[in-house]
Structure formats: structure tokens, C-alpha cells
């Protein structure tokens, strides 16, 4: 999470790291990074009513990595029911190649203002679970199989990769989100 704050500071944005619903409701934008495991993180969110709050957010929200997965309906990671903004299931990569998927990979089929000014580009991934291809995808990637690398529905944006670790392309994606 600290790497997201540093990336925003490089863009001239002073972000506040909080789980306080009062502060979050006053924010212009919300970034929902995820580190860890689905069921533990969902339990944390539910204890604080953040799962309900997130579902009802009106300002632009960007989910990153586990943050994207938790915005989906269900994750195979410990059979976890998630927030459900996106009617999409999250599955474990089949063990045909090295899992987790770690490293740079190319995004394709880029759509929406999140990718304004960018073509097919390489971004940095670290994940063992993926969102199935679906009607909400705004970017795809292929590792073992094609998967949704980014999603969008209304004011909700989500990326499986780490823009804060994806160099100039990632900075541009964060900048585009801040300009939405």
C-alpha cells in the first residue's frame, strides 16, 4: 500500500491511508489496493462495514490487485464471497506454468479513459488468482489463459496489475484515474 502512496506523491497527490468511512465518504477519489488473502481481507472489511460502503460509493474508485478481486462476486481463494460490484468470479490459475504470475506482461484491448493515451503496454503483475473474461473488461492479458486484466462499471475501475510498480505506463494510468 505504501508503494501506491509513493506513486501518488510522484504525481503531486497527497493521499490519506484510512479505513475511516467518514473520511472516505469525503474523498474525491478512492483507491482500494489489496495485499494479502481474500477471506481475511473480506472479514476485515465486513467488521468495519466497508464492504457495504464500497458497494455504494459514488465517487470514482480504483481497485488494485486483490482490491480488484474483492470487487468481484466470488473468489476461489478460500471460497470467499466478495463485494459483488462486478458479477464476475475469480479463479486460481491452473498449474500449467509457474504460479503465481509474477512479472511484466502485455495488456491488450484497452478501453475507457483509464487507458487514455496508451496502446498495448507492459505492466507488472503479482497474482495467483484471476478474473474470468467478462462483459466488464476494459483490458485483457494472457498468462496460461486469457483473463480480464482490468474492469470498469459505472464509477468503479479495477486493475489486476500494479500500476504503482509499472513505471511510466503505470503512472499514466494513475494520472488518468485521477483525471476521471
CATH assignment at residue 113: 3.40.50.880
Q: What is the pTM of this model?
A: 0.96
Number of domains in the chain: 1
Residue 22: per-residue pLDDT: 97
Q: For residue 50, what are the domain limits?
A: 2-178
Residue 36: per-residue pLDDT: 87
Output the furthest CA–CA distance in the chain (Å, rounded): 45
Residue 119: per-residue pLDDT: 84
62 pLDDT more than 80 = yes
Q: Which of 65, 72, 82, 141 is catalytic?
A: 65
Q: Which of 101, 137, 162, 175 is catalytic?
A: 162
Note if 137 is an active site residue.
no
* pLDDT tens digits for range 165-174: 999 999 999 9
Residue 157: per-residue pLDDT: 98
Do the strands 86-92 and 121-127 form a parallel or antiparallel pair, or are they unpaired?
A: unpaired
Note if 162 is an active site residue.
yes
Note if 65 is an active site residue.
yes
User: Can you tell me the mean pLDDT for 18-46?
Assistant: 95
Q: Which of 77, 137, 164, 175 is catalytic?
A: 164
Amino acid at each position: 500500500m505504501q508503494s501506491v502512496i509513493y506513486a501518488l506523491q510522484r504525481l503531486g497527490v497527497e493521499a490519506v491511508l484510512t479505513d475511516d468511512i467518514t473520511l472516505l465518504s469525503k474523498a474525491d477519489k478512492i483507491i482500494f489496493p489489496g495485499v494479502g488473502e481474500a477471506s481475511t481481507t473480506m472479514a476485515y472489511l465486513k467488521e468495519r462495514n466497508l464492504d457495504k460502503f464500497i458497494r455504494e460509493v459514488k465517487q470514482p474508485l480504483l481497485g488494485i490487485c486483490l482490491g480488484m478481486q474483492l470487487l468481484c462476486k466470488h473468489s476461489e481463494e478460500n471460497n470467499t464471497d466478495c463485494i459483488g460490484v462486478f458479477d464476475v468470479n475469480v479463479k486460481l490459475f491452473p498449474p500449467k506454468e509457474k504460479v503465481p504470475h509474477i512479472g511484466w506482461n502485455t495488456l491488450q484491448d484497452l478501453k475507457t479513459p483509464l487507458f487514455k493515451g496508451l496502446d498495448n503496454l507492459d505492466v507488472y503483475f503479482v497474482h495467483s488468482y484471476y478474473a474470468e473474461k467478462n462483459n466488464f473488461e476494459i483490458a485483457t492479458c494472457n498468462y496460461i489463459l486469457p483473463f480480464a486484466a482490468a474492469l470498469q462499471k459505472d464509477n468503479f475501475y479495477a486493475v489486476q496489475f500494479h500500476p504503482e510498480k509499472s513505471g511510466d505506463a503505470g503512472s499514466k494510468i494513475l494520472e488518468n484515474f485521477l483525471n476521471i
